[in-house]
Chains A and B, each alone.
Chain A
């Protein structure tokens, strides 16, 4: 099966600009996650979708970050306006729910964002 696709691969923007990341999960995977990984740290969950509904966005900085998953397939994550501390790799992951809880996640390669 095809993997989780993310684009762009790299992005450099100035602070206060806006940016959007795109994720196409594995076909049929109902659950989609966005993680933020700052250099040297583990990934931090930003938001979890089940189909096109939000399950958990408790760690999403909602004053500047937004995410949507229209039609329960592709997802976009937006930052507006960006701050220097948003420099990180943004990872998208998806998971099938058909196999119950004992099934791993598939991650995309991530988008590396640099805010200058």
Chain B
């Protein structure tokens, strides 16, 4: 099974700044997904990038994927207080289609 490892474990920035978090994984994938979790809530699917894509945008989110390095990054531009949350990457591959999560990156946006 796949598991993504997020880096850094924690990130604290000022509102309006950009936030970048990274994900590494170990085996081949069909796609890689990013999820957000606000404190005490369930996970929310943010974006999915397929293995044949290199970059994808959704609003203020930009995701890149480098399959040769087995890594991905999530960029949040013009951060807001509401972006404070934990972010998880989930590489997905194989037939079972189960997501295995790492520890996540805890992002704090300071006003």
Contact = CB atoms under 8 A, between A and B. Distances in A.
Interface residues of A, number: 29
Nearest to A101: B30
Contact of B30 (A44, A56, A89, A102): A102
B31 A112 contact: no
A29 B46 CA distance: 19
Interface string A3-23: 010000000000000000000
A61 interface: no
Contact of A55 (B35, B92, B96, B100): B96
Contact of A43 (B41, B48, B101): B101
Given A31-B97, A45-B98, A104 B45 contact: yes
A101 B104 CA distance: 23
A110 B42 contact: yes
Contacts of B97: 31, 95, 97, 101
Interface of A: 4, 31, 33, 35, 40-45, 48, 55-56, 89, 91, 93, 95, 97, 101-110, 112
Interface of B: 30-31, 33, 35, 40-45, 48, 50, 88, 92, 96-104
